[in-house]
Structure 1
Amino acid sequence: MLEVDKNNLLGIGNLSPIDVLDLTKPKAQTPQDRMQHFLSMVHDFCYHILGNTGPSFGRDLYQLQGLAPGLVASVFDNLEYIPDYRLRPIVRVFLKPFICSCPPAFYETVILPVLTHFFPYMFVRLSSKWQYITQLYDSGGIDDEQADTQEVLEATLTRTLTREYMDVMKVALIGGASSGELDRAADMDQDMDRTETSRSSLQSEVISELGSLLLRSEATCQAILLCLLRALSWHDTIASLKATFLVAPVVRHLFSDHSLTPQVAAHIMTCVLQGLALHGQHEANQGSLLVLGVQMYEILRPKFINILEVMNQIPNCSPQDIQKLDDKILMSTCKTHNKVDKNKKEIFKRLTNQLVGRSVGQLFRKEVQIADLPRLELPNKQKPPIEENTSGQDIGLCRLFKT
């Protein structure tokens, strides 16, 4: 990886940027550095060119014979040998616009074969990456001040790759018309209005035609669902928030197709609770995960009884609150209505209150307690005595008020 790319990932400013194309300024570069810069630029330019072919050529590109097998045999071949920083241009620069620009008539002949090859591979790759990073977090290897720069760089690169891959999944499952909305919702510094807008979009997203095709394919459905569910509890709040907006429409679509089993339903509910346990300390994640939890419980509980077993595993879970939530669901008159009742959300929040994680700054915070202090009695102020004019002398008052 180039030093400039490392600094960009780690947030370190480049004090003296070097333009490798500027021949007027002498540069002290070795032949190895020049070759590295050249190969890096060629790699990036190739994917930029490929990424612009879809929007530029349109149907003329997608109707080419053998396009999907050619891409699988060239762009997506030997992905296990490509490092993460080289995989990012494939995901962000090429694949995302390639999916957005594809006409619906070529979904089954072009996009489906490509994603059938790519989605299962990315699920395995990201799962192994996050398993390693989770072990580093559990052992304190990343939080330590003496942590190796390579480990921090690898964790940052995995987060960035995961977020960009979630954007590609969003485009494939829901569509690219409102892709910017998900990016705005993922900003952790958003204000309350944008948070409410994001939660409303969580309740109204619908699977697109391409997403329906992917979820009905056995080669991609499992990889999509498991990747989204695991992303809820990965150590990245933005990736978890992006996955939250995709889980609800995916599960809703699979439920309508009768593709869910009791084991899958229990796993879905467990992953939502795990996401709350890890990211519940953040306001944006907590609100979205609570809405998602209520939706999942409302969809899965009437058909799958084993959801109660998952809920009963929550520490200090009250059976009365579970019964209240069940009663609220049974009293729902409109089953197709996606809006989450505020009372249901409050009950679900009370059920999962013991499960929600807290930030390190709040774990050992000492509560401020002010004791009742005795009343402070202040002495009465003595009024100065009024001097009366008893001498009868004229002090000028008559002249002052004389008309």
Structure 2
Amino acid sequence: AFRAQQGEVMRMACRLDPLTGFQMAGEWLKYQLTAPVDTGPMNCSSSVLFLSAKTGEGLCSIFSPSFVQWDAMTFFSESVISQMFRTMDKDEIPVNDGIDLLQLVLNFETKDPLILSCVLTNVSALFPFVTYRPEYLPQVLSKLFASVTFEVVEESKAPRTRAVKNVRRHACSSIIKMCRDYPQLVLPNFEMLYNHVKQLLSNELLLTQMEKCALMEALVLISNQFKDYERQKAFLEELMAPVAGLWLSPEMQRVLSDPEAFISYVGADNKIADPVLEDPSGLNRSRISFCVYTILGVVKRARWPAATEEAKAGGFFLGYLPSGTPMYRNPCTEQVLKLFDNLLALIRTHNNLYMPEMVARLGDSFAKALDMLEGEKNAILGLPQPLLELYDSPVYKTVLERMQGFFCTLYDNCFHILGNAGPSMQQDFYTVEGLATQLLSSAFNNLNNIPDYRLRPMLRVFVKPLVLSCPSEYYETLVCPMLGPLFTYLHMRLSQKWQVINQRSMLCEDDAADDNPESQEMLEEQLVRLLTREVMDLATVCCVSKKGVEQNTTAAVDGDDDEAMATEVTPPANAELTELGKCLMKQEEVCTAVLITAYTSLSWKDTLSCQRTTTQLCWPLLKQVLPGNLLPDAVSWFFTSVLKGLQVHGQHDGCMAALVHLAFQIYEALRPRYGELKAVMEQIPDIQLDSLEQFDSKLLNPTLQKVADKRRKDHFKRLISGCIGKPIGEQFRKEVHIRNLPSLFKKVKPSLETDVLENEDGEGFNVLFEP
């Protein structure tokens, strides 16, 4: 937060005087380029000291004086230069000075990974100057490509440290960013770029799979500038030929479709004698990763021209859907759909790995291969990662951690592909024959055994993007058949999970587990909360239009106005269902699952989920089914669910206000038709029955003058106050009433015998001011 704050201050100062800021950044950069490296007295861990001994020089750690200076200078220059290009007119930019600085940075050489990462950031910050001098682009590309293959020790067999890994990823990201933001600038150098990438890809061990695919992504981004469908399609076919050959081979098809064969192929059933160095199946895993990374990169990056006229001229435009949405064809579609069946087979196989009989087939060394990575656990629990480990330790210390990383990344990337397929290939993807059935039998296969930490990203990166990007023409054929069983299953799963948590909290008197933030129970409960939020967010995205979920909330303040302020925190009245929401609510099975999940979640012990669901989802869903003939028991259940939510979350002002408003809406809309709601109200503790009768009489008698909305709400809130939960500190508080006591001392005022105003010599006026 402090770093971001300082950056904002520097950017604001630069708006006032951008040239001075740039000059300061230039002077500081020149100083750092010439200053000797000071690694400090205790600069690194044993692994880095080992590497330092082999290279004959010391390497910086994050605490080294030189790195601290480089990091500060880089942050300053990046903030200032980016702001200068936004603020100054194009003709006023100091191009010559910028190019001189860029030349100095490009000529600077270092073997220290932390400093080199700062150098790459400065290259990216200064790159906009190349738009004025395109002849410098080849030098920039050479610098970045040299960093892609960076090693502290050439041809070393030792595992790379995170600092080295970060440099290589940084260089790949810089190339992608350059091709994304300045494609027209890079396009004339496409052949040089392509040849360089092909040379690097020819050596299977030179780059990691992620680095290979990052470079291929950069090529795909530039190919978008061809603006010629046939040319780009031919290029993508050539680029993906090695992947297609490997992915569609008979051996790979056998491996991807059989869980046992898959486990054996990736080496998860092996018994490893040396868990640090021995990894006989590492190459097999890298081949699968390479294919999946490449498919994802192409699906994410290949696009048609943004301008309709250019798309028509290039052969991308197909026409319009009945809704008026333009249709385009993606040059990657044919290549990707060829690989689609095996991708679904891999997803189905991966899901089946969580079956108990498959878990039992994992070798002793890999019994926990499907577990969460430590980084995932720390992120869920909010635990910080030790800084030294981020830079000095190897990326994966053992083959088990490499296997865990493989399974985790593979699972995420497969669903990223499915999530990006709709926006990328549009109607060519949505009209795949039997797509809904294929997805149900692969992505949603064996969900009972899929752990929460894998189900959650599936909903976020696959289901939600697919729903958001799907045109209404395909709701009936794709989205509804898929979401119906999914929502039904998710409701059942979450209900069971929360039942276990509630029982545990009621039965467990020993709080020892809560003292350990890393305890398994706490991790599981937090995962259930995160999954609940993901499910309710998905339901909201599917059912409620964006204009209806804009929250009109006012933060409650402490004091006497708590009640009044909280009552004002209400959702907007114009919340309405989307076309997809209406389509889903027409199907009884889906409608029931979504409604029950939404209202049941109000009493689950997750305040954030409760508030979002109450304000965004509950009333629009119920309002949609009000014209129908709801059973009296169902109406009573909806109303009771809201009151239960008040009992659990009433201590939180925001939740209380939203739930009170929802209960008021339900009672006011349904009480005239369902007398059962009054029976529910009569069961509320400490309710004033005469006050309830008064409220009902005004509600049911249309001839009486309507009371102001706020007064009706306040009256209703007083009626249900007996079921509103209180903070634990107030639950057993005894009210203390102190009566006004008489004063201990009473000062007698002196009596005045004569009227002071009639005193002729005027001394009487002084008496008026005496105490």
TM-score class, shorter: 0.7 to 0.9
**SS of structure 2 residue aligned to 1:232:** helix
Q: Which residue of 2 aligns with 1:342?
A: 710
Matched, 1:89 2:457: yes
Q: Kindly indicate whether the alpha-carbon contact (under 8 Å) linking 1:142 and 1:152 is maintained by their aligned counterparts in 2.
A: no
**SS of structure 1 residue aligned to 2:466:** helix
Q: Which residue of 1 aligns with 2:519?
A: 149
CA offsets per residue over residues 117-148 of structure 1, 9 Å max, x none?
Answer: 20110010000000001112223469654478
Q: Which residue of 2 aligns with 1:199?
A: 570
Q: Which residue of 1 aligns with 2:385?
A: 14
What is the distance in 1 between the residues matched to 2:469 and 2:509? 43
Q: 2:487 aligns with which of 104, 119, 133?
A: 119
Q: Which residue of 2 aligns with 1:51?
A: 419
CA offsets per residue over residues 306-341 of structure 1, 9 Å max, x none?
Answer: 1111111111222222223223433569xxxxxx91
1:57 shift after superposition = 2.5
Q: 2:448 aligns with which of 64, 75, 80?
A: 80
Q: Which residue of 1 aligns with 2:640?
A: 270
Q: How does 1:287-298 map to 2 (within 5 A)?
A: 287-298=657-668
Q: Kindly indicate whether the alpha-carbon contact (under 8 Å) linking 2:603 and 2:641 is maintained by their aligned counterparts in 1.
A: yes
What is the distance in 2 between the residues matched to 1:369 and 1:82? 58
Q: Kindly indicate whether the alpha-carbon contact (under 8 Å) linking 2:543 and 2:581 is maintained by their aligned counterparts in 1.
A: yes
Q: Kindly indicate whether the alpha-carbon contact (under 8 Å) linking 1:185 and 1:195 is maintained by their aligned counterparts in 2.
A: no
Q: 1:228 aligns with which of 570, 575, 598?
A: 598
Amino acid at match of 1:60: D
Single out whichever of 364-373 and 3-12 deviates more from structure 2. Answer: 364-373
Aligned length: 367
CA 1:237–1:27: 2 relative to 1, 3 Å: closer
Q: Which residue of 2 aligns with 1:356?
A: 724
Q: Kindly indicate whether the alpha-carbon contact (under 8 Å) linking 1:136 and 1:142 is maintained by their aligned counterparts in 2.
A: no
Q: Which residue of 2 aligns with 1:398?
A: none
What is the distance in 1 between the residues matched to 2:661 and 2:481? 34
Q: Which residue of 2 aligns with 1:383?
A: none
1:225 shift after superposition = 1.2
Matched, 1:255 2:623: no
Amino acid at match of 1:304: Y
Q: Which residue of 2 aligns with 1:135?
A: 503
Q: Which residue of 2 aligns with 1:316?
A: 686
CA 1:26–1:242: 2 relative to 1, 3 Å: closer
Q: Which residue of 2 aligns with 1:401?
A: none
Amino acid at match of 1:323: E
Q: Kindly indicate whether the alpha-carbon contact (under 8 Å) linking 1:278 and 1:357 is maintained by their aligned counterparts in 2.
A: yes
CA 1:317–1:81: 2 relative to 1, 3 Å: same
CA offsets per residue over residues 247-292 of structure 1, 9 Å max, x none?
Answer: 1111111012x14111101111111111111111110011111110
Q: Which residue of 2 aligns with 1:397?
A: none
Q: Kindly indicate whether the alpha-carbon contact (under 8 Å) linking 2:554 and 2:568 is maintained by their aligned counterparts in 1.
A: no
Q: 2:610 aligns with which of 240, 257, 261?
A: 240
Task: Please identify runs of 4+ aligned residues in structure 1 that moved more than 3 A.
Answer: 16-19, 24-28, 140-148, 175-179, 184-189, 194-198, 330-333, 364-380
Amino acid at match of 2:376: D
Matched, 1:325 2:695: yes
Q: Kindly indicate whether the alpha-carbon contact (under 8 Å) linking 1:100 and 1:176 is maintained by their aligned counterparts in 2.
A: no
What is the distance in 1 between the residues matched to 2:595 and 2:566? 25
TM-score (norm 1): 0.82
CA 1:127–1:240: 2 relative to 1, 3 Å: same
Q: Which residue of 2 aligns with 1:337?
A: none
Q: Kindly indicate whether the alpha-carbon contact (under 8 Å) linking 1:252 and 1:299 is maintained by their aligned counterparts in 2.
A: no
Amino acid at match of 1:218: E
Amino acid at match of 2:463: L
CA 1:13–1:187: 2 relative to 1, 3 Å: farther
Q: 1:37 aligns with which of 391, 400, 405?
A: 405
What is the distance in 2 between the residues matched to 1:27 and 1:310? 59
What is the distance in 2 between the residues matched to 1:154 and 1:261? 37
CA 1:379–1:99: 2 relative to 1, 3 Å: same
What is the distance in 2 between the residues matched to 1:17 and 1:168? 38
Q: Which residue of 2 aligns with 1:98?
A: 466
Q: Which residue of 1 aligns with 2:585?
A: 215
What is the distance in 2 between the residues matched to 1:141 and 1:34? 40
What is the distance in 2 between the residues matched to 1:89 and 1:251? 29
CA 1:89–1:176: 2 relative to 1, 3 Å: farther
Single out whichever of 224-233 and 322-331 deviates more from structure 2. Answer: 322-331
What is the distance in 1 between the residues matched to 2:535 and 2:566? 22
Q: Kindly indicate whether the alpha-carbon contact (under 8 Å) linking 1:281 and 1:359 is maintained by their aligned counterparts in 2.
A: yes
What is the distance in 1 between the residues matched to 2:589 and 2:653? 36
Q: Kindly indicate whether the alpha-carbon contact (under 8 Å) linking 1:328 and 1:344 is maintained by their aligned counterparts in 2.
A: no
Amino acid at match of 1:7: N
CA offsets per residue over residues 20-74 of structure 1, 9 Å max, x none?
Answer: xx9x964561111111111111111222222122222333321222111111111
What is the distance in 1 between the residues matched to 2:501 and 2:441? 31
Gaps of 5+ in 1: 334-339, 381-403
Query: More relative contact order in 1 or in 2 (CA 8 Å, sep 6+)?
Result: 1
CA offsets per residue over residues 223-263 of structure 1, 9 Å max, x none?
Answer: 1111111101111111111221311111111012x141111
**SS of structure 2 residue aligned to 1:46:** helix
CA 1:188–1:377: 2 relative to 1, 3 Å: closer
CA 1:378–1:312: 2 relative to 1, 3 Å: closer
Q: Kindly indicate whether the alpha-carbon contact (under 8 Å) linking 1:269 and 1:296 is maintained by their aligned counterparts in 2.
A: yes
What is the distance in 2 between the residues matched to 1:142 and 1:248? 39
What is the distance in 2 between the residues matched to 1:53 and 1:38? 22
What is the distance in 2 between the residues matched to 1:283 and 1:317? 21
TM-score (norm 2): 0.44
Q: 1:174 aligns with which of 544, 553, 564?
A: 544
Amino acid at match of 1:350: R
CA offsets per residue over residues 129-180 of structure 1, 9 Å max, x none?
Answer: 000011122234696544781111111100011011101000111135666x
**SS of structure 1 residue aligned to 2:420:** helix
CA 1:196–1:14: 2 relative to 1, 3 Å: farther
Q: Kindly indicate whether the alpha-carbon contact (under 8 Å) linking 1:7 and 1:13 is maintained by their aligned counterparts in 2.
A: yes
